[in-house]
Amino acid sequence: MESEFAIFTLQFSFFNFFRLYFSYAPFYLLLMPLREWKLARRSLPYGERTLVMGVLNVTPDSFSDGGQFFSLDNAVAQGLLMAEEGADIIDVGGESTRPGSEFISEGEELRRVIPVIEQLAARISVPISIDTTKRTVARAALQAGAEIVNDISGLRFEPLIADEVAKAEAGLLLMHSRGTPKDMQQLPPVENILAEVTAGLRQSIAIAEQYGVKRSSIAIDPGIGFGKTVQQNLELIANLDRLVRDFADLPIMIGTSRKSFLGKLLGGAPANERLPGTIATVVASVMKGAHIVRVHEVKTAAEAARVAVAMRQAGYFSH
């Protein structure tokens, strides 16, 4: 009898933990309006369900897949697979941004990404994003068929990326980050990460608009892992609903997939063993209002996000 009571108490405690954790999400998250993110050749609806951005690293040294898709054939095959699995966007990147990584030349980055973008754009209807911080790469990728530029520097490295986006009337994803990939994990942590991220994103948005990018073409990303501690990453996920409120007219993306803070939370798990942690953060982010999740395992994340949206819309974990 005592053991049964203990089990009941434990189950009740876990239930209440999640109920209380999510109960602070504002009621408007339950009925998020359907809106549109303006891209180069279409508008992408968001709000009714969570969109999934598939990660396609065309690099020999990515932290997450170690060059698995470095060849053109493998990269295109993976892009096609992600489209079949339900990706709403495919994000092609040719330069690793893992902690400690060095920048590569424009020529090398172009050689890696442009053939992949050209082939995918000709074979799938899913919009393609270019993950770059270089103006020339952004311009060439947009000409090759990409419709979104994903800038992890939030225009800090090359503000003129915004000029290329404005000319193409493309989508622009602005991420908050600190320092550069080479030194970001050596920077001292800021005291108030939410205030830092909010201020940084506002500055990036202002720069984009100065160059003529329409606000309806901008999306934002708080930049999990980029110059943040493990605790700060968790804090940003837990307070994502505040960013949704503060940037109510913009789609918000979150990318936690396979990142090192998950490895630390999971006892040193390597990147290829972080899927359970990734899915936990995907569900938490969706419950807190994320419009887009950026992931490596598209099918699994899409299914988890679908269930989380259904629970949110049904009123679970809410006042």
Catalytic residue, chosen from 135, 178, 259, 312, is: 259
- 294 given a catalytic annotation: yes
* Residue position matching structure tokens 């320092």: 179
CA dihedral 276, 277, 280, 284 (to 10 degrees): -160
- 259 given a catalytic annotation: yes
* Residue position matching structure tokens 């270089």: 134
Catalytic residue, chosen from 98, 135, 294, 312, is: 294
The length of the chain is 319
By CB neighbour count within 10 A (0-12 exposed, 13-18 middle, 19+ buried), where does 309 fall? middle
Phi, psi of 241 (to 5 degrees): -60, -25
- Cβ neighbours of residue 173 closer than 8 Å, sequence gap 6 or more: 129, 148, 149, 150, 151, 218, 219, 220, 221, 253
Of 32, 22, 17, 85, the C-alpha closest to 55 is: 85
193-202 burial, b for 16+ CB within 10 Å, e for fewer? bbebbbebbe
Active-site residue list: 259, 294
